[in-house]
Structure 1
């Protein structure tokens, strides 16, 4: 008896499965026939779905890449932390801060020294100054300003465009006795890349201390004009400013490695969210913090983030507006078309086809149209994202920043964003079909059949 009941139940499930497969095949067959037969309607829906999917892809692409964009902007803005002495223009030994390299939130530590040096085989550029001094001895004439540190391409004077490299290369980590000079200084002294200059550093803490001159090799020539502070010395002028590697500046001051000094230590962090934790760990180092301060140098990054935040909010609002607009437009078009198909709906109901199956066929028809839509929307959307990114970031930044956008080389990321966009489109189609089919779902089959007559 029990075995007989199990056999009947298995036959019933088998029949239901067979009927389900047959119904699914019939729905797809009918949907394909309708889509191919109604070419004008298919074209109209194709255009609408292409526009909606393209806009969704563009919006989600920009939203998706906001974090990568923030990280790239953070790196390109050279945001950092800086340790300085509270006394203006104060020098300090860097040995108490040697352990900053062991802080995991800090990716790079770069001490910087700024001070004067005397030229021994060249002449400083002369220019007008707000202050004229007649009391200068020979020791304080023919001076240049030396800024010694890490890579010059991360120096704010170069990254901001105040100075720009004209010939050769910038100072790089690992350089020794390398020098970057201004083009006006090079022109006056008829110097070129690979020529040598001899400098005699002046110890600002003890000006009477005699130091040995040091020979430098010119590796690059730059141009530009910075905001100058006049004290009556030739080293005040931008044309007499030079960039050198940090180690050679300390050797030029005659200091052993455990005595090296700096006017500032620049610390690069892995990201803006790690800065506060890095500051907390820095201030735990065994140093007299009554004499030092730690500052964030993020003004350029914050300005860029505010602009990106505004764009992100606008894109988010546009995404919701596109979804709502897509639902409204598709629903209105489908309502009009379903009224014309009331006879077809009535026939299907009269032969026992359920409402859910009828609505399912309408849904399949739109999904079939959306498949070729995907290719067109992908091409249009990819081109549009590049154009929009170029407009937002500027031509100079686009080339370097576009590698972080989904439309760059990251094919997996690009595909993932498009799949998400298509998923949203599928949801829009489903909602539109349900809204447009409300008259079928609400009314009884007799009421629908009475409309035909």
Structure 2
């Protein structure tokens, strides 16, 4: 239950039947290859290309269309140079004959993939003498269709890499422990914990949280001082009203309450507009996190919270602070006038 998502990846080779691989000067020359063998492409099969390292690291960038997703069948992404050479566009189909390079020898079948995305970029290339070495001859295909094309059953699937995603960092160690207990020959596999991006993000968030707390305290103190000074000027303009109210028997508490109610009513439109603008600014901040696939789940969680119950709680806390500042400021400003007697206030006016 610790596992939130599984990213399945398989790397292999294929021969395109209705397209030609891009050729270039090879650093490795092989005389044992025929012309047909030279027309090969590299296959990266996965159930989510957006989270593939080549895309999440920025090596490849999606230029047109969309990424491959979990429920895709018979879909593929191709390089823009490959598309240009073969006059291919989104919606076209490319026929591939996948090559089974594993110990499980099966007869693969020709499979047609619909092109749903075109990407650009250049990866670090390893030269083996095949045309599949070049970045331009890289094709991403959906995992399920690729396994079917290789005539492999669900229990015979070929995997180059499995990436496990957990909901929280605390669940990561539990997931690794449970995975290590599986009946698998671990001499052929290696488990790596990749939470560096998660830790960096949490450290950044902790730093931002400290800054926000400091700013909050400064705003409370500064707001109280500034609002008190403004209210002193505001009350001086209403000193005659205060004197009349006191002379007819109104208590100081009633007068202070009246001023507080007036300011609270004035604050309502302001706090509503700040709530809307605050969410807008927050969405722009989380957009940067969302663009990095390693931290997209964190950003998604924040975005969900900011528009949910947590957002309402923060809003009420902020408004409570504002009300506190208003009450303190009114009391401070009013006391300088209300300590005087009504007769003294009215005589001062006259």
TM-score (norm 2): 0.75
* 3-state SS in 1 of match to 2:124: coil
Query: Is 2:93 aligned against 1:195?
Result: yes
Per the alignment, residue 225 of structure 1 pairs with 121
**Separation in structure 1 between the aligned mates of residue 66 and residue 243 of structure 2, nearest angstrom:** 80
Change (3 A) 1:440 1:176: closer
Cα shift at 1:386: 1.7
**2-side partners of 1:219 and 1:186: how far apart?**
10
- Which residue does 1:36 correspond to in 2? none
Q: Aligned-pair RMSD on alpha carbons?
A: 4.1
Say if 2:279 is the partner of 1:379.
Answer: no
Partner of 1:134: 30
* 1:127-178 Cα distance to aligned partner (Å, 9 max, x none): 245x232344227522211111213233343345543445555433344443
Q: CA deviation at 1:363?
A: 4.0
- How far the C-alpha of 1:288 sits from its partner, in A, is 4.1
Instruction: Check conservation: 1:198, 1:215, Cα contact below 8 A.
Output: yes
Within 5 Å, give how 1:31-180 maps onto structure 2. Answer: 104-129=1-26, 131-138=27-34, 140-166=37-63, 169-180=66-77
Decide whether the 8 Å contact of 1:228 with 1:236 is kept in 2: no
Please state if 1:331 is matched with 2:228. Answer: yes
Cα distance, 1:134–1:391 mapped onto 2, change above 3 Å: same
Partner of 1:259: 156
1:228–1:237: 8 Å Cα contact kept in structure 2?
A: no
Partner of 2:295: none
Q: CA deviation at 1:344?
A: 8.6
CA distance, structure 1, for counterparts of residue 44 and residue 98 of structure 2? 14
Contact 2:75 2:115 in 1 (8 A): yes
Considering only CA atoms, is the larger Rg found in Structure 1 or Structure 2?
1
Equivalent residue for 2:212, pick from 312, 315, 328: 315
Deviation at 1:360?
5.1
**Looking at both structures, which has the greater relative contact order when contacts are Cα pairs under 8 Å and sequence separation is at least 6?**
1
User: In 2, distance between residues paired with 1:187 and 1:162?
Assistant: 20
Q: Distance in 1 between matches of 2:188 and 2:106?
A: 28
The 1:338/1:175 distance shift into structure 2, 3 A limit, reads: closer
- How far apart, in 1, do the equivalents of 2:66 and 2:259 lie? 62
Question: Structure 1 residue 277 and structure 2 residue 200: aligned?
Answer: no
Task: Determine the C-alpha separation between the residues in 2 that align with 1:230 and 1:275.
Answer: 33
CA change 1:228–1:415 in 2 (3 A) is: closer
Deviation of 1:211 (Å): 4.0
SS of alignment partner, residue 292 of structure 1: coil
Structure with greater helix percent: 1
> Any gaps of 5 or more consecutive residues in structure 1?
1-103
Could you tell me which of 358, 361, 366 is aligned with 2:260? 366
d(CA) in 2 for partners of 1:210, 1:140: 19
Mean Cα deviation higher: 253-262 or 314-323 = 253-262
**Cα distance between partner residues in 2 of 1:327 and 1:167:** 54
| Structure 1 residues 239 and 253, CA gap change in structure 2 (3 angstroms) | same
- Determine the C-alpha separation between the residues in 2 that align with 1:375 and 1:267: 47
CA deviations on 1:45-97 (whole Å, 9 max, x unpaired) are xxxxxxxxxxxxxxxxxxxxxxxxxxxxxxxxxxxxxxxxxxxxxxxxxxxxx
* Matched residue, 1:422: 319
Question: Equivalents in 2 of 1:242, 1:413: separation in Å?
Answer: 43
Distance 1:346 1:213 in 2: 96
SS of alignment partner, residue 373 of structure 1: helix
Return the alpha-carbon distance in structure 2 between the equivalents of residues 199 and 422 of structure 1.
Answer: 64
8 Å contact 2:77–2:119 — kept in the other structure? no
Any conservation in 1 of the 2:16–2:94 contact (CA below 8 Å)? no
Residue 319 (structure 1) shift: 1.5
Q: Deviations over 1:234-290 (max 9, x none)?
A: 112111111122234334444443222211112232334432332232223233445
Q: Which runs of 5+ in 2 are unaligned?
A: 292-298
Q: Are the counterparts in 2 of residues 186 and 221 from structure 1 also a CA contact under 8 Å? A: no
> What's the TM-score once normalised by structure 1's chain length?
0.60
CA shift, 1:226, in A, is: 3.2
